[in-house]
Amino acid sequence: MQKLAPLKLGILGSGKGSNFKAIAEAIEEGRLNAEVRIVLSDVEDAGILDYARARGLRAEFLAPGRFRTKLEPEAEARLVALLQEAQVELVVLAGYMRMIKAPMLEAFPRRIVNIHPSLLPKFPGLASWKQALEGGATVTGCTVHYVDGGMDTGPILAQSEVPVLPGDTAESLHARIQVAEHALYPAVLARLAAAR
């Protein structure tokens, strides 16, 4: 059987990039048949850009414009153009803190995935680990899902459970969820890469 070409990924992130690191390591270790074509951030000094550059990957800051929770339409059009120029097949949101709107959804239908730090549909939105703690949950986790026009609402690809332990703080719970994220995200991407 002929080996499939690596799945071409475009990564979007706003933060430190630990999920991206887990994905990059899975590629390097041969657990994920993919290639990172471009890493983009709406935050100029985001750790994810430094990490990508240190690995010799193309990494760019994309000025988001005047809104706080989404890109300005011109910026989103530029995002689409950058991803298309880079021949991206799957857009991977890795700690990307803005809503995805029509230009992206139309350019990449069912080809944008996200990781969220809760067992969706529970605790969508921000700081889900705090929501879980304050809501008295005994189990939470993380979810990889396709992105649609809603807030953390797209079809679910996979979930991983994490216990909430007595004495947990928001920080200790988030750290435990992130360990689960770093295993789940590369595994789901590997499944998508193999299922083409």
Active-site positions read: 116
Q: Is residue 17 involved in binding ligand GRF (CB under 6 A)?
A: yes
- Which listed residue (115, 120, 164, 184) binds ligand GRF by CB under 6 A? 115
Residue 94 binding ligand GRF, by CB under 6 A:
yes
As a residue count, the chain comes to 196
Candidates 11-19, 57-65, 82-90, 159-167; binding stretch for ligand GRF (CB under 6 A): 11-19
Residue 92, helix vs strand vs coil:
strand
Q: How far is the CB of 164 from ligand GRF (least distance, A)?
A: 15
16 is a contact residue toward ligand GRF (CB under 6 A): yes
In the list 7, 157, 181, 189, the residue contacting ligand GRF (rule: CB under 6 A) is: 181
Contact yes or no for 127/43 (Cβ under 8 A): no
Q: Are strands 34-41 and 112-116 parallel, antiparallel or unpaired?
A: unpaired
* Nearest distance from C-beta of residue 97 to ligand GRF, angstroms: 7
Please report whether residue 103 would count as binding ligand GRF according to CB under 6 A: no
Q: Which tokens in the block code for residue 156?
A: 């679910």
CB of 48 to ligand GRF, least distance (A): 6
Pairwise CA distance, residues 42 & 30, whole Å: 29
Picking from 174, 6, 161, 188, the residue whose alpha carbon sits closest to that of residue 95 is 174
Contact 48, 23 (CB under 8 A): no
**Window 19-58: residues binding ligand GRF (CB under 6 A):** 19
112 makes contact with ligand GRF (CB under 6 A): no
The partner residues of 41 in beta bridges, in order of sequence, read 61
E-only strand ranges, the chain: 7-12, 34-41, 59-61, 90-93, 112-116, 139-146, 156-163
Residue in 11, 12, 13, 164 binding ligand GRF, rule: CB under 6 A: 13
Strand 90-93 to 112-116 pairing: parallel
Nearer to ligand GRF, 37 or 174 (CB): 174
If one asks whether residue 178 binds ligand GRF (CB under 6 A), the answer comes out as yes
Maximal CA-CA distance, the chain: 52
Instruction: Summarize as ranges the residues that interact with ligand GRF (CB under 6 A).
Output: 13, 15-19, 94-95, 115-117, 142, 178, 181
